[in-house]
Structure 1
Amino acid sequence: MSPFKENYGAESPPLNEALAAMVRANVRAILARGRTPEQALELAGSALAWADHLIERFEAENPLPRPIVCQAGCYYCCHNQVELTPPEALLLGHYVEQHFPEVEKAGLKAKIAESLKIKAGKNKAEMARIRQELPCPLLREARCSVYPVRPLICRAMHSLEAGDCEQALRREDLSASAYYSHRYEIIRSISQGLKDGCASLGCQAGALDLVAALDNSFREPRPLERWIQGEEVFSL
């Protein structure tokens, strides 16, 4: 990975096969110890920890020529439509159940229902153009309410120019701003390894829309137990 590579286009980041293979092996090692809700949560938790560690280590060893300008309260990328793996969705649902009071859970479910209503029948490009109307339902006062367990892709998103993200959102501009490719390479590789490892062991593994996945996790009975045993918990 080149620490100085800045991209502007929307091409897919490269896949680090060695990293993906390590994540697949980690999935198998975790599930070899048993198929319990604890193991299901550990799958996502370990993937998120790997992502944070690798990004932090890479950027410590390779000082970036331009600083990343993201900061708390900058929520413009939180209007992007997020896809995640089933383990990540299950961890999010569990976090909400454990940390949100009932009134906040009810408010979140109402936001999810409204978002799903707006998104109904639209493809990805159409949703991207109206993303001003589709803030992440997990935003609370312009901050992520689940930051410790936010999805992998959210850990990749960043900006090198203050104001670019806000302007792009306001203008409904779909062109990409400058970004460093190493973050997306790390995240893509971990996500692919997580999906491949889960699929190889008979667990639902396809990419999920965050909002729909949260809706499923709240509506479906015992989602952790059922998913880890190979049932399809999430609608695609």
Structure 2
Amino acid sequence: MELRRFIKEKYGAKILLAFSGGKDAIAAWLALRDDGFEILPYHMTLVPGMSFVEESLSRYEAFFGAKIVRVTHPSFFRWLCNLVFQPPERCAVIESYRLPSLTYEDQIAVVRQRLGEKASGVLVASGVRAADSPYRRHACDKYGALRELRLQVWPIYDWGISEVEKAIVGSGCRLSIEYELFGRSFDGIDYRFLEPIKRVFPEDYKRILDWFPLADLELFRRGERSAHA
């Protein structure tokens, strides 16, 4: 609360929010909303065209009454540049395009450009919590929850999981179907994500194969011999 009060006084009520659709991102949105911030949310799309992701984002837009800006996640470009799950005949084609090696900062700049003047110079918030992992605890201890040179802030850095759950349950906001499928938000194209997507959302799985044709091998090496069935 003290951190949120401080940044509101120093930087104003407008704030960008990196919104993955995960529980911590939801909790951060709720905390900022309750403290009177004008939230400008954006989502980095991991693989274009996932219907289950878009359905969840649309539901959150309706719940919070705000438009979520969509940009492509840097990992998508990184996977293509590194030829992840690509057959040999595609490699030369992909390399000929000389795809950019984009960073989070690059994509945040795109978000600011799309939003215009209202996003100029405002902080970028995310749902990072120190208690979530030793790595994040170390990051909070080393850098603090407010990195002013980078215009980054972690508004619920000091929340435990019980506070996250209390905020979400109390708000009436439902977690996305990603938690039923994966137990977390969608953030990879390994077996943990591919198997449930193929089983529950086969059209989305086909879309993944459009981009990464050899992703089927993740299932094949786990014993699913009829991966294309």
TM-score w.r.t. structure 2 length? 0.28
Q: Which has the higher contact order (CA 8 A, sep 6+)?
A: 1
Give 1 or 2: higher strand fraction.
2
Q: Which has the larger radius of gyration?
A: 2
